Amino acid sequence: MIKTERLQLYPASREQMEAVIASEQDEELRMAYSEMLDGCLRHPDQWDWYAIWLIEQKDGTRIGDLCFKGLGENGVAEIGYGILEEYRGRGYAAEAVEAACRWAFRHPEVTALEAETDAGNTASQRVLEKCGFLPNGTLGEEGPRFTRNR
């Protein structure tokens, strides 16, 4: 578990991931969460790199989640994150992403972290920039890609 001033982040168990999948109303997110669980089951020794990481306030209130989408052989992991709408605009995303980055870089095999966000999602781009990510000049499926090196 990662603890920050206001948050706690931790990789979900199989049961927690199944519950998140079952309760998700957005079909695209449900599919993404299912892929994460599949990655966990295929790579149980790398669970933390595939799992849904729950983002909670200190009292246990879930406010969002993040993931690493696996760890590539080149030492690069992609991070994804989301904060529930009613908790946005309070700095939680930057706090959670920065804590997750520090956790990832404690692993010597990690050389860089990448993320991508919709071109119009300036709030998410600001989060990435606050956390030391820089645009890398490429476009992914969701939009511009950002990189943070060790």
Please give the residue range of the domain that contains residue 43: 2-149
* pLDDT tens column, 119-133: 999 999 999 999 999
Q: Is the pLDDT score of 142 beyond 90?
A: no
Q: What is the tally of structural domains in the chain?
A: 1
pLDDT score of 140: 85
* pLDDT above 90 (res 141): no
**Domain CATH for 73:** 3.40.630.30
141: exposed, middle or buried (Cβ count in 10 Å: 0-12, 13-18, 19+): exposed
Tens digits of per-residue pLDDT, 54-104? 999 999 999 999 999 999 889 999 999 999 999 999 999 999 999 999 999
Q: What is the pTM of this model?
A: 0.93
Return the sign of the alpha-carbon dihedral for residues 9, 113, 92, 118.
negative
